[in-house]
Amino acid sequence: MVLLRRLRGRLIDLAIVMFGVSILVFGFIRMIPGDAVAIMLGANAEVTEERIDAIRNRLGLDLPIHEQYLDWLSKVLRGDFGVSIWTGKPVIEEIGNHVWPTLQLTFLALLTAIVLAIPLGILMARIRGRRGEAFVQAGSVIGLTVPPFWLGIIMILLLSTLAPSLQMLGYVPFSEDPIGNIQRLLLPAFALSLPIMANLARLLRSTLLEALQQDYIRTARAKGVPARRILYRHALRNAIIPFVTSVGIMAGYLLGGAIVIEQVFAIPGLGRLILGAIAERNYPLLQAAILLVTCCFVLVNFLVDVIYTVIDPRISE
């Protein structure tokens, strides 16, 4: 029941957020000077004003902006997102082609971050006050501050010298070449995951340390529960809730980071698609892609909500 009510609330949120975003995207992108037609024709084209006007008319760009918006909105509500200005293909198809690399990349990055952050966080909590703490702390600060795109370029440079035969740029679908697919995604996923991993590990460390100060831990110790069991069964379970919240927020940021990483590693994902659409002023494509990303963001938040309820039954009350 609680879940259903929450789901309904989230769906309403989603609709409101997407409506707002659609207006913002529509307005902002058209405020940038230079429209799709000008960019399409470039600075060397021998074209007449008539031709430019004809193209603008064909694309519906000569209408007042609010008419363009209403026209677009009414089509979207009927499931028609329009066609890409440049390729003439339906934007849904274009997005469909680009969505898998990004999903795979962000999923892999998130997985890497979580899988590595948990043991790291525990390690950092356990060595508190001992030798090596400063070293690990410094490492986590570096992880937090190194920009993923820089790390990506450095890794590409290093590996191209150390293992020149490595095929690590671009993308092949998993269905075509599973090894090639993973091989090309590992480096970018790692680069993308690093700051998030560091962030999560530090968070886990502090929540874990806090949990270890609690009364119930003292009670458990007094009862003679072994230290390992106290750490993993009692403290970790309580410390993990803020961790899960953060994972949800990070997943949203990963999409942002993916835009840059995809550029560096030549991965044809959603990020590249959005960057290209901005540069080309490919309005229908950009609008649909941004709506999709917004939708993902809100849905991830919803999922985090659900996971809470599972981990900590108190929240649903």
Partner 1 sequence: MKCLRTFTLACGVSVAGMLAVPAMAATLDIAVEQSPSGLDPHIVTAFSSFQIIDGTVYEGLTALDAGLNIVPGLATDWQISEDKKTYTFTLREGVQFHGGGTMTSADVAASLNRVLAETTGSPLASRLAAVESIETPDEQTVVLNLSAPSAPLLSSLTSIAIVPAKYEGDTESLQRAPDGTGPFTFVSWQPDVAITLEANADYWQEGKPELDGVVFNIVPEAATRQVGLTSGQYQMLPNIDGVTAQQFQGRPGVKLQDTLELAYSLIGINVTRPPFDNEKVREAINYAINRDDIVAAALFGAGVPGGPLSPALTNYATPVSEFPCFSTSADTARQLIEEAGVETPIEATLLVLPRDSTRGIAQVVQQQLAAVGIEVTLDIPEIGKFVQDWRNSDFDMFVSLNSGTIEPDDYFYRTFRSGGSTNVFQYSNEDLDALLDAGRQETDTEQRQQIYADVQEELACDGPVAFLSYGQLYTAMRENVEGYTISPNRSMRSLADTSIAE
Binding flag, residue 27, partner 1 (CB under 8 A): no
Q: Would you say 94 and 87 are in contact if contact means Cβ atoms under 8 Å apart?
A: yes
Q: Looking at 4-12, 50-58, 64-72, 126-134, which segment touches partner 1 (CB under 8 A)?
A: 50-58
- Distances in whole angstroms, Cα of residue 27 to Cα of each of 111, 155, 273, 291: 36, 39, 20, 14
CB of 153 to partner 1, least distance (A): 5
Binding flag, residue 65, partner 1 (CB under 8 A): no
Helix, strand, or coil here: 90? strand
Q: Would you say 260 and 271 are in contact if contact means Cβ atoms under 8 Å apart?
A: yes
The tokens describing 117, both together, are 């952050």
CB of 24 to partner 1, least distance (A): 19
Pick the closer one to partner 1 by CB: 138 or 179. 179
Q: Candidates 82, 117, 272, 286: give the one binding partner 1 (CB under 8 A).
A: 272
Contacts of 168 (CB under 8 A, 6+ apart): 156, 159, 183, 184, 187, 265
CB of 82 to partner 1, least distance (A): 15
Q: Candidates 1, 165, 176, 222: give the one binding partner 1 (CB under 8 A).
A: 165
161 membership: H or E segment, kind and range: helix 148-162
Binding flag, residue 281, partner 1 (CB under 8 A): yes
Binding flag, residue 90, partner 1 (CB under 8 A): no
Q: Would you say 230 and 221 are in contact if contact means Cβ atoms under 8 Å apart?
A: yes
| Cα torsion through 307, 258, 120, 212, rounded to 10 | -40
CB of 263 to partner 1, least distance (A): 5
Binding flag, residue 219, partner 1 (CB under 8 A): no
Binding flag, residue 228, partner 1 (CB under 8 A): no
Query: In which residue are the tokens 């405020």 written?
Result: 31
Binding flag, residue 279, partner 1 (CB under 8 A): yes
Residue 268 is classified by DSSP as -
Pick the closer one to partner 1 by CB: 153 or 249. 153
Q: Candidates 3, 15, 47, 141: give the one binding partner 1 (CB under 8 A).
A: 47
Binding flag, residue 115, partner 1 (CB under 8 A): yes
For residue 90, list its beta bridge partners. Answer: 83
Residue 236 burial (10 A CB sphere; 0-12, 13-18, 19+): buried
The tokens describing 246, both together, are 């953060």
Binding flag, residue 222, partner 1 (CB under 8 A): no
Residues that bind partner 1 in the complex, under the rule CB under 8 A: 32-35, 38-48, 51, 54-55, 86-89, 94, 97-98, 111-112, 115, 119, 153, 156-157, 159-160, 163-171, 179-180, 182-183, 186, 263-266, 268, 272-273, 276, 279-281
